[in-house]
A and B are shown apart, each in its own frame.
Chain A
Amino acid sequence: MTKSPVWLSERVQWIGALDPDMRSFDIILKTPNGTTYNAYAVRGSDGVAVVDTVKAECADQFFERLEAVARYDEIKVIILNHLEPDHTGALPELMRRAPQAKLYISQSAQLMIKALLNQQDVEFTSVGTGDTISLGDRTLKFLHTPYLHWPDTQCTYLEEECILFSGDVFGCHFCDERLFNDKVGDFRFAFEYYYAHIMRPFREHVINALQLIEPLPINIIAPTHGPILRDKPTSYIQRYRDLSGQGLQSEVNADEKTLLIFYISAYGSTTQMARMIRDGAEQVAGVRASLYDMEGGDSDLFVDLVEDADGILIGSPTINGDAVKPAWDLVSSFAKINVKGKLAGAFGSFGWSGEAVRMLEDRMRGLKMRLPLDGVRIKLIPSLDELEQCRKYGQEAGEHLMGVNAPRVIDMATLLASRKELIN
C-alpha cells in the first residue's frame, strides 16, 4: 500500500488513513469492508489547514501523508469537525509537531475538548455558522451542525472550491483505496446502514443541518469515513433529505396526536386491558389511538411507527418476574430513533408479583420519555371495575397527550411510595 496523499483539487489533498481490517465500530456497527479515517489538507497562499485527523492507531499513515503535503511549520490551522477519538487520536501528536497551529472547534465542542485531551490549558477558537478563516486565497467557512452524531459536530466549507468537509455526515464505513465514489466498489449499503445507525436517532438535527447545507454550491463532499463524494455529490444530500423525511404521508391531521398501544398476552388479560385503554384514549378529542399485538410483528417494523408517534404505551404480562422479550426488544429498538420527550406508559396483567409494568416504566423514563401516569397493573383476569380503571387510564393518557389534563396536586411522598410498590 503506497502511503501517498491523494489530490481532490488543486489545493486540497486527502491525508487520511485506511483501516481495511476493522470489523466492528463503536460496538454497534458491523464493518465488513473496514473503514477509512479521512483527513484533509488545504493549502492557501497564507498557510495550510489540516481538517480532522485520524484514530491513534493509524497515526503513522496520517503523518506520512501529511509530510508529503506540507512542512509542519506551514500548518496554520487545525480544524476539528468532530472530537470523537477516531478523528482526534492523532491530534496531540500533531499539536506537538505543529505547535504554532491554531485549533478551531465548534461552540459545543468547548465543553468536551478538555476532557478529551485531559489538559486544562488547551488554546482554541470556537466557531459557529458563518464564521470564516482565511488562508489568503482560500477561505474556510463553518456550519454549526450539532448532534450529527455528537453534540460537538460541525461541517467546514471551502468556499473557492465548493468542497464540504462534512465530518461523519454523509460518511460510511467502507474502505477502498480507490477513494472516490465513482471508482470504489458498491458502497451504497454502507451509506444507508451508517445513516440508519448513526444519524437516524438525530433526525431533527439532520433536517436542521440540511437546511444549512442545501443552499451551498457543492463540487465535492469530503466526509471523515468512506468514499469521497465527487460524482453527483448532491444526490447524497438528497438521500439524507429522503431518509430524514417520512415514508408514506401521514393521514393524521395537524391538530391530532397519535397514541400507539403495543401489547402482548398469553391468556388474553393484557389484551383486554389494551382494548379498554384504547377506548378510553379515543374519548379524548384529537387522539388517534391504535393497537398493535407484538406477537404478530417485530420491533424492526414497529420502530418506524414509534419514530412518528406522539405517545407510546406498552402492555406486558409479568412472566418469571419480568416483562416479556418482545416488549424489551421494542424498547431496545428505541435507541435507533429519538424518543426523548414522547409520552409513554406501561400496563399489564400479572399473577402474584407483577414486576413488568414498573420495569418497563423505569426503562422508558431512563430513555427520557415522559411518563406522567403510573401504569395500570391488574391481578389475573380483569374485573369490570378493573376494566373501568383501564379505560380511565387510557383517557388520562389521552388528556396528557393533548395537554388537556385536569390540574392536579401530588405529594412527593406518594410519588415515592408508588415507586416502592415495585419492591413488595
Chain B
Amino acid sequence: MPKYNITFADIKTTVAVPRGTRIVEVAEKIGASIPFGCKENDCGDCMVDVLEGAANLSVPSPLEIDLLKQKFAKPNNRLACQAMVLGDVTVKPA
C-alpha cells in the first residue's frame, strides 16, 4: 500500500500514513492540537486549515459540505474526521 506524508504544522510532526487514512486517526495518536468531538461529521470541532496539498485529500461529501457551510468555513477548511489522505498534505488547526 502506498504511503503519503501528512504534516501537522502546529506540532512540526510528519507521519507517513497508508492511502485512505483519515486525518483525525493520526492527529489523535500523535497529540496534534486539532480539537475533535464526535468524529462523525456532526459537531464540526475538528475543522483544519489545509495549508498544502488540498487536492490530495478525498473530495468532501455533501454532508461535510453542509456542515462546513453551517460552521462558516473558509475554502481551505476541511473536517479532519472526514478527509482522507490520498497524497502529501500539510494541515493545522483551523
Name A residues whose Cβ lies closer than 8 Å to a Cβ of B.
Answer: 107, 110-111, 151, 340-341, 343, 365, 368, 370-373, 400, 403, 405-412, 415, 419
Contacts and interface: CB of A to CB of B under 8 A. Distances in A.
Given A403-B11, A409-B13, 12 more contacts: A111-B42, A111-B70, A370-B31, A370-B32, A372-B32, A405-B11, A407-B13, A407-B14, A408-B12, A408-B14, A412-B3, A412-B21
B35 A340 contact: yes
Contacts of A400: 11, 31
Nearest to A112: B42
Contact of A409 (B14, B33, B70): B14
A368 B17 contact: no
Given A151-B43, A372-B30, A412 B13 contact: no
5 contacts: A368-B36, A372-B32, A403-B11, A411-B16, A412-B3
Nearest to A406: B12
Which 8 pairs show the lowest CB-CB distances between chains A and B?
Answer: A372-B31, A407-B12, A370-B31, A371-B31, A412-B17, A409-B14, A411-B16, A410-B15
Nearest to B15: A410
A408 B21 contact: no
B35 A341 contact: yes
Contact of A365 (B28, B42, B70): B28
Nearest to A340: B35
Interface of B: 3, 5, 10-18, 21, 26, 28-33, 35-37, 42-43, 70
A368 B35 contact: yes
Contacts of A409: 5, 13-16
Contacts of B11: 372, 400, 403, 405
Contacts of B35: 340-341, 368
Contacts of B29: 415, 419
A111 B63 CA distance: 12
A411 B15 contact: yes
A387 to B, nearest CB: 24
A415 B31 contact: no
A47 to B, nearest CB: 30
A400 B33 CA distance: 11
Nearest to B5: A409
Nearest to A404: B12
B4 to A, nearest CB: 10
A371 B10 CA distance: 14
Nearest to B6: A412
A75 to B, nearest CB: 29
A385 B5 CA distance: 33
Contacts of B36: 368
Nearest to B8: A372
A410 B18 contact: no
B83 to A, nearest CB: 16
Contacts of B30: 372, 410, 415
